[in-house]
Amino acid sequence: MAVNSFPAGFLWGASCAPHQNEGNNVNSDMWALEQVPGSSFTDRSGDAVDFYHRWKEDIDLLKSLGLNSFRFGIEWARVEPTRGNFSVAELAHYRRIIDYCLAQGVEPVVTLHHFSSPLWFVKEGGWSSADAVDRFGDYVDAVCPILHGVTWVATINEPNMFAVMYQMSTPLQYPDPAAVLQRMREAMSPVNGEAGINSFSMPEPKEEATQTLVRAHARARDILQAKTDVKVGWTIAVQSLVARDGHEDKLAYYERVWEDTFLEASRADDWVGVQAYTSQLVGPNGLEGAPEGAELTLAGWAYRPDALEIALRRTALVTGGVPMIVTENGIATADDTRRIDYTTVALEGVAHTLGDGLDVRGYLHWTFIDNFEWVHGYEVTFGLVAVDRTTFERTPKGSAYRLGDIARNNGAGIL
Ligand code: BGC
């Protein structure tokens, strides 16, 4: 069904993550992994895009483009660099970013955990240890006092991907991280060499890991609801899985293991973040990589701007209608015209879901500025804005202006 306008107050924005943008996240496990000789990381995060110092400039730029919302994260490894020692100065740093967003009328969407954890935590057994949920809870508790005025908080980013990531790297057995890297490399190498790192090329999340993260999320939600006025959710990688004819039972299996348990845990939340990039087929041999001849993005994923609509519909079905925010959607490409095409079709998909009465509150593009794309490093560019890696000068691409125009008109441009 067609929709005449996007809802009033719709969030139009872009997302980033601490480890990928701040730079010098030296007390984190990811930083440690990057330093290991022979690491599977193409680059080291290093200064990243120096968001730690340039956050004000970035918020100003985002606002000047016409966007009204910004997703960024708080880095646990900075707030609690050693166990039990919470940094007042780092909490104040993040509070300044929140204050500035609020003062500028830019709605902050704050993530508390985005793949990276403190190195001390991981050395003590990390997410596999018996007290992981307590340790995460302590951190969340410490962050509560800086969240006043914030509406949207995500506890854990992509728990369904992270469950697998930490299984592969935990315990990060220092002093032998090289063995961990080898395991990661083996586990993550694409089966057909072209599928990219997505669920197709990763081992499945084990039930134990899934349940740990579900418990960590529930603990964080309890703490946040008791101590703040924020709306709590988490952000799920929804893979827009589609069955080949006759393989619906296999599809049901993959949906359960990869997504549904996490989405069902959202039913008690105030909102859920939907993150979609591509769509994957499930056939006789399970999850398939990009189909033969498909246009591939720099991440090795099939170009599927319709994936977002599929993901929103699936999320609404499984959660029973919990309000949704698109917290990530985008494309890794060096050809910005393809980013504009992709985003336009993805937003048309959002409009279709709104027309059918789905409760979608916002669209935050991944990502604002070309950043540290994990193992792929800096060459795989998802950004609306380019960055000079030496001067850190930001240059908006055509796609940034286009999304800003759409935002200024509350979606009128794509309806
Ligand atoms: C993650 C981001 C990542 C993006 C593109 C999501 O899985 O949350 O950190 O950069 O996808 O790969």
- Residue 186 pLDDT > 60, yes or no? no
Q: How far is the CA of 118 from the centre of ligand 1 (A)?
A: 19
The pLDDT of 240-262, averaged and rounded, is 95
The neighbour count for residue 104, using CB atoms within 10 Å, is 16
The CB of 328 under 6 Å from ligand 1? The reply is: yes
What is the predicted pLDDT for the residue at 194? Answer: 39
The CB of 373 under 6 Å from ligand 1? The reply is: yes
Cβ contacts of 100 within 8 Å, gap of 6 or more = 55, 56, 59
Of ligand 1's atoms, which has the minimum distance to the CA of residue 275? 6
What is the predicted pLDDT for the residue at 398? Answer: 98
Q: How far is the CA of 246 from the centre of ligand 1 (A)?
A: 32
Question: Is the CB of residue 81 less than 8 Å from the CB of residue 27?
Answer: yes
Q: How far is the CA of 90 from the centre of ligand 1 (A)?
A: 24
- Residue 185 pLDDT > 90, yes or no? no
The pLDDT of 164-184, averaged and rounded, is 60
Q: How far is the CA of 245 from the centre of ligand 1 (A)?
A: 30
Counting ligand 1 atoms within 8 A of each CB, the residue from 160, 162, 374, 384 with the most, and so the one to mutate, is 374
What is the predicted pLDDT for the residue at 2? Answer: 59
The pLDDT of 408-413, averaged and rounded, is 90
Average pLDDT score, the chain? 92
Give the C-alpha separation, 290 to 305, whole Å: 14
The CB of 158 under 6 Å from ligand 1? The reply is: yes
* Percent of the chain surpassing pLDDT 70: 90
Q: What is the DSSP letter of 323?
A: -
pLDDT, tens digit (0-9, with 9 covering 90-100), for 78-123: 999 999 999 999 999 999 999 999 999 999 999 999 999 999 998 8
Homologous superfamily, domain 11-406:
Glycosidases (3.20.20.80)
Half-sphere exposure of 100 (CA within 13 A, CB side): 18
Domain locations along the chain? 11-406
Q: Which of 9, 10, 8 is nearest to 350 (CA)?
A: 10
Give the amino acid at 273. Answer: G
